[in-house]
Amino acid sequence: MIEEFGPIAAGIRRCVGSWENRFLQLPGDVITERRNSQQRNIKQLVGHMIDSASNNTRRMVRFHCRSVPFRFPNYASVGNNDQWIAIQNYQEADWQNLVMDWKYANLHVAHVITRISEEELKHQWIFGTEELVSLKDMVTDYLLHLHLHLDEIEDLLSQQ
């Protein structure tokens, strides 16, 4: 394992450990009615984090088995992540199942991060209109992205 990725994987696991039970104890009206500036509620934010985990896992794996740089659709560009949320109808999903999906998707990301080797670090993905993103940058940014959405949820929970 790449030494600097250990704390990232551990940080993902800590987020899961500290949020799983907290999520499961939230009342139904809180997870469905409080909305952030993008008009997403907590269920939708958790769904978006599942999408992020699954898409990033696929990208990380492709870095290992594809010629680079490679093209992989950016599901988050041009409002597509809102389409993903709507198509999967996270609003109507069973909350306990959604939390478990979030938990295990993120634990799997942490596992995959620990399997990355030095050789793949400089491999690049063609992001958006031709911007290049390295595997190292993707891994480093993942935990920041997870914290961004958990902080959004924290803000929604502090609303009266």
104-138 core/surface letters (b: 16 or more CB in 10 A; e: else):
ebbbebbebbeebeeebbebbbebeeeeebbbbeb
d(CA 20, CA 102): 9
Q: At residue 86, what is the residue type?
A: A
Provide the pLDDT confidence category of residue 78 given band limits of 50, 70 and 90: low
Backbone torsion region of residue 89, taken as left when φ is above 0, otherwise alpha when ψ lies between -120 and 50, otherwise beta: left
Is domain 3-157 annotated with CATH 1.20.120.450? yes
Question: Quick check: 147 pLDDT over 90?
Answer: yes
C-alpha separations of 63 from 53, 59, 85, 126, 152 in Å: 15, 6, 26, 11, 30
d(CA 1, CA 157): 36
The pLDDT score that the predictor gives to residue 14 is 98
d(CA 106, CA 100): 10
Which of 40-44, 61-65, 108-112, 139-143 is least confident?
61-65
**Direct distance between the N- and C-terminal alpha carbons of the chain, in angstroms, rounded to an integer:** 44
d(CA 110, CA 66): 21
Q: What is the mean pLDDT of the chain?
A: 92
User: What's the whole-number mean pLDDT along residues 84-106?
Assistant: 96
User: What's the whole-number mean pLDDT along residues 98-124?
Assistant: 94
Q: Rounded to the nearest 5°, which phi and psi values hold at 123?
A: -60, 145
The tokens describing 93, both together, are: 């999903």
pTM: 0.93
